[in-house]
Each structure stands twice: as structure tokens, then as C-alpha cells.
Amino acid sequence: MLANDAPLPVLTPETTPFWTGGEDGALMIARCSACTRYVHPPQPICPHCLSREIAPVRVSGRGTVASFTVNHQRWLPDMRVPFVIALIELEEQPDIRITTNLVNQPIEAAAIGQRVRVLFERHEDIWLPLFEPDGETGE
């Protein structure tokens, strides 16, 4: 666990698919079936075309590092530092971004433009979407 003892989200009808999809290994992002655009954070209406035909769908979980920062500050007493906070642009629609942690690689390996894929880490009723390197050749 990276963000030890960091506060967890409170589930709501709109956010539950995103925060619990990991139970099925699925990254769930709201998508408008009228204009086909993804919307994040999830909304009960599409802010682009105002359709209410919007629902969470499973996305590939693949994306690109748009930016990252190595956190060195112990914001909580038991926080293990340093660790990498990253902003991931999803493969399906680059303006959908997820703030997350980059894991399963050395901290120095984090780079803008790096290809990554999702994995999940359970904390109580929440499955946090984390990201790890995605081999160029696929696996």
C-alpha cells in the first residue's frame, strides 16, 4: 500500500462504479451513449450534449503518463515516502485523466509519455485504480 492511511472516498451512486469496479478488474468510466464521449468525474448528465443517456462502461485500463511528481513529504505519520503520484490520460480519450500512483517500477523510471496499465488495490469497500508499466509488446 502506497498512500498509507490516506483518506478513502465516500461512495455515492455516481462514484460507486469507479471506486468499486476493481472488484471485477474493471476500470469503469462514465460514457454518453448519445455523443459517445467519456465524462470524468462521472455526471448524471453529459456536459457536452446534455443527454441523460450516460452510464459507466468498462475501458481498457491502458493510458499514458501526462505528468508525475515524486512525493517526499510525510503528510501522515505512517506515510512511506517517497512515492510517485501520476496523472494518467486514458487511451480511449486523452482528456479523461486519473490521478493515481505509479507502481511496480523504480521511482526513477517514471516519465511523461510512459505507457501504463491499471491494476487495483483494495482498501475496505474501495478498489483504488493504480497504474504500472505496460510493456511495448503487450503481455
Binding site for another protein (CB under 8 A): 2-10, 12, 15, 40-41, 66-73, 75-76, 79, 82-83, 85-87, 95-101, 112, 123, 126, 128, 130
CB of 61: closest distance to another protein in angstroms? Answer: 16
- Go through 104-138 and write b for each residue having 16 or more CB atoms within 10 A of its CB, e for each that does not: eeeeeebeeebebbbbbeeeeebbbbbbebbeeee
Is 26 or 96 the residue whose CB approaches another protein more closely?
96
Please give the helix or strand (H or E) that residue 16 lies within, else none: helix 16-20
CB of 97: closest distance to another protein in angstroms? Answer: 5
Residue 102 φ/ψ region, left for φ over 0, alpha for ψ in the -120 to 50 degree band, beta for the rest = beta
Is 78 or 137 the residue whose CB approaches another protein more closely?
78
DSSP three-state, residue 35 = coil
CB of 52: closest distance to another protein in angstroms? Answer: 20
Is 111 or 139 the residue whose CB approaches another protein more closely?
111
Angle at 46 between CA 41 and CA 47, to 5 degrees: 80
Is 124 or 139 the residue whose CB approaches another protein more closely?
124
CB of 62: closest distance to another protein in angstroms? Answer: 18
